[in-house]
């Protein structure tokens, strides 16, 4: 087991021969990534420097030299990548192993210097995104990420506010761990595909192709080689679901693939997958490309990725006539992606949507002219609770109020923690004050039932402001927020739990 883990981390479970075989493809991929991401970072950091000197804001001017340093590094990386080209394995590899830590350094700088009083959003994003950019040995991803973790954890306690240090440490460990795991799997997946495509391109006869493909086709649900000129095919790997849906096993591929995909694809994805496997348009779509893909939901295997791979030299002037069609199961990858998205959108303390994700969903509801009630509220005398009972008690109050929201509202309603003790919810289908009063009263009853084991006499009350989305033209989120914020302010003047509806004056 230990030997397998070490082999996985050092060589992504490939042999030294395999790594040498895909070296050109690996360098080509990394060279393209370097050009793109160094150009993007050059623009970003240069723009930030220009903005600092243009606005003359002291806070920005103070950090301008750091941004200038990042900009210069990006420019140098871009220039070197252009100069050496995609054939210089050593230089491209060194640049990748410098550029990747540079991204994490920016995340650390942003978290510990620029926004030390705020959650470390930039660093968390770098933890998740950076491992996906380049193909490098998994052990390098692990080492670089762990070093970044140590730096953040060492300085976090001294620069971050005490009330968010615990959350920041947990987020750092969780997101860096997710980034490492996804990055390692991503590297191995890309290496396996590079190796597969390289082997396919080396084979010239049907017998050679079949013999070698069978040994690596286990990662696929099915695999077939197709002659597009004659519309004939033969199976490298198949399954009972496909075999039972077709009426020929070597002729009229265009008909057989339509029958097979119709029988095995979920209805909502059928149209797009049939367009993808259309052999009349395939040569033009695949011209000048090694491979094209399409994801879909299968009836029998869950999430799948269909892939056409051109056999032979890739040439923009010549349409391919020999291709491999393969389908792989990607359900595990989709689970990881779903988990990442959920974590990126969730407030770590309460499990509600975080500020950005929640506001984005409300803006979508506004743009879609959905009917509903939008409300803002905060906890009365929350500062008094923190001062008299401690921040830990304050955290318990924040979590308890969030739980009361989950207890009251439906899954399709939008619930978010705006920050601190402020929350927003959007309840769809509620269009008037009579319905709104029923919803708010039910929520207030849930608030009234909140109890705390350590403090028996602590009663929670909230002040709430609400308005209704009725498809008004020209009203954006900012205007709706202004309304509910104004109403919340009015409710604050009333003792105990109170709510105020926005009415045009």
- What CA–CA distances, in Å, run from 164 to 170, 355, 356, 419? 10, 16, 18, 12
Q: What's the CA gap between 495 and 505, in Å, rounded?
A: 24
Q: Does a structural domain hold residue 112?
A: yes
Q: Classify residue 325 by its DSSP letter.
A: E
287 shares its domain with 383:
no
Kindly give the confidence (pLDDT) of every residue in the chain, 505 residues in length, as a single tens digit, with 9 standing for 90 and above: 666 566 655 656 666 767 777 788 888 888 888 888 888 888 877 887 787 777 776 766 666 777 777 778 788 888 887 788 777 888 888 888 888 788 788 777 777 777 777 777 777 777 777 777 877 778 888 888 888 888 888 888 777 787 787 888 888 888 888 878 887 888 777 877 777 777 666 554 455 555 555 555 557 888 899 999 889 988 888 888 888 888 888 889 999 999 999 999 999 999 999 999 999 999 999 988 999 999 999 988 889 999 999 988 888 888 888 999 999 988 888 888 777 777 778 888 999 999 999 999 999 999 999 999 999 999 999 999 988 889 899 999 999 999 999 999 999 999 999 989 999 999 999 999 999 999 999 999 999 999 988 888 888 999 999 999 988 888 899 999 999 999 999 999 998 899 999 987 5
Q: Does a structural domain hold residue 36?
A: yes
Which of these three, 333, 355, 389, is where a domain ends?
333
67 shares its domain with 190:
yes
197 shares its domain with 212:
no
For strand 462-469 and strand 302-310, is the pairing parallel, antiparallel, or unpaired?
unpaired
Q: Does a structural domain hold residue 341?
A: no
Q: Does a structural domain hold residue 338?
A: no
> Is residue 216 within 8 Å of residue 238, measured between CB atoms?
no
297 shares its domain with 362:
no
Q: Does a structural domain hold residue 98?
A: yes
175 shares its domain with 318:
no
Query: 3-class secondary structure for 39-59?
Result: HHHHHHHHHHHHHHHHHCCHH
325 shares its domain with 353:
no
Catalogue the long-range contacts made by 199-207 (C-beta closer than 8 Å, 24 or more residues apart).
Answer: 200/309, 200/311, 200/324, 201/311, 201/312, 201/313, 203/311, 206/234
76 shares its domain with 177:
yes
CATH code at position 213: 3.30.450
Q: Does a structural domain hold residue 20?
A: yes
Domain membership of residue 427 as a residue range: 346-501
Amino acid 200: pLDDT:
64
- Burial profile 273-290: b = 16 or more Cβ within 10 angstroms, e = fewer: beebbebeebbeebeeeb
pTM of this prediction?
Answer: 0.44
Amino acid 7: pLDDT:
62
Local structure of 317: helix, strand or coil: coil
89 shares its domain with 56:
yes
Which H or E run includes 292? strand 291-298
Amino acid 501: pLDDT:
95
106 shares its domain with 75:
yes
Q: Does a structural domain hold residue 377?
A: yes
> Is residue 248 within 8 Å of residue 229, measured between CB atoms?
no
286 shares its domain with 367:
no
16 shares its domain with 89:
yes
Which of these three, 178, 201, 224, is where a domain ends?
201
Q: First-to-last CA distance in the chain?
A: 72
Q: What's the CA gap between 250 and 246, in Å, rounded?
A: 10
Cβ-based neighbour number of residue 225 at 10 Å: 23
Q: Does a structural domain hold residue 339?
A: no
209 shares its domain with 193:
no
| No. of helices (H) and no. of strands (E), the chain | 19, 10
CATH code at position 398: 3.30.70.270
Count of domains for the chain: 3
């Amino acid at each position: 087991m230990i030997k397998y883990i070490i082999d996985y981390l050092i060589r992504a479970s490939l042999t030294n021969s395999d790594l040498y075989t895909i070296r050109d493809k690996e360098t080509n991929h990394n060279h393209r990534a370097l050009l793109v991401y160094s150009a993007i970072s050059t623009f970003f950091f240069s723009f930030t420097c220009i903005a600092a000197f243009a606005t003359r804001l002291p806070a920005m001017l103070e950090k301008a030299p750091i941004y200038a340093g990042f900009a210069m590094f990006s420019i140098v990386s871009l220039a070197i990548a252009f100069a050496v080209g995609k054939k210089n394995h050593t230089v491209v590899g060194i640049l990748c192993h410098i550029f990747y830590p540079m991204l994490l350094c920016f995340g650390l700088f942003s978290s510990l210097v620029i926004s030390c009083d705020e959650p470390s959003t930039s660093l968390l994003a770098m933890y998740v995104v950076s491992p996906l950019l380049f193909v490098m040995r998994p052990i390098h991803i692990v080492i670089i990420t762990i070093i970044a973790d140590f730096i953040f954890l060492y300085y976090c306690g001294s620069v971050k506010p005490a009330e968010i240090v615990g959350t920041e440490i947990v987020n750092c460990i969780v997101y860096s761990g997710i980034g490492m795991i996804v990055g390692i799997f991503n590297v191995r997946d890309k290496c396996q595909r590079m190796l597969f495509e390289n082997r396919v391109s080396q084979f010239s006869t049907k017998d050679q192709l079949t013999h070698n493909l069978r040994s690596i086709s286990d990662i696929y649900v099915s695999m077939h080689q197709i002659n597009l000129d004659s519309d004939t095919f033969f199976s490298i790997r198949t399954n009972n679901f496909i075999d039972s849906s077709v009426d020929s096993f070597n002729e009229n591929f265009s008909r057989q693939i339509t029958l097979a995909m119709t029988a095995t694809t979920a209805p909502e994805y059928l149209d797009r997958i049939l367009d993808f496997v259309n052999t009349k348009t395939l040569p033009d779509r695949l011209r000048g490309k090694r491979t094209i893909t399409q994801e879909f939901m299968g009836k029998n295997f869950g999430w799948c990725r269909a892939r056409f791979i051109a056999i032979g030299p890739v040439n923009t002037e010549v349409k391919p006539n020999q291709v491999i069609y393969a389908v792989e199961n990607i359900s595990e990858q989709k689970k990881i992606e779903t988990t990442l998205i959920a974590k990126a959108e969730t407030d770590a303390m309460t499990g509600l949507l975080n500020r950005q994700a929640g506001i984005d969903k409300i803006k979508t509801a506004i743009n879609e002219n959905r009917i509903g009630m939008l409300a803002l509220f905060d906890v009365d005398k929350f500062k008094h609770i923190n001062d008299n009972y401690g921040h830990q008690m304050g955290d318990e109050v924040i979590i308890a109020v969030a739980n009361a929201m989950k207890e009251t509202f439906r899954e399709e309603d939008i619930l978010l923690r705006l920050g601190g003790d402020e929350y927003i919810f959007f309840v769809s289908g509620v269009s008037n004050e009579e319905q709104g009063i029923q919803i708010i009263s039910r929520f207030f009853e849930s608030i009234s039932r909140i109890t705390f084991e350590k403090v028996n006499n602590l009663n929670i009350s909230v002040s709430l402001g609400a308005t209704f989305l009725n498809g008004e033209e020209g009203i954006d989120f900012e205007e709706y927020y202004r309304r509910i914020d104004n109403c919340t302010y009015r409710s604050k003047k009333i003792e105990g739990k109170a709510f105020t509806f926005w009415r045009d004056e």
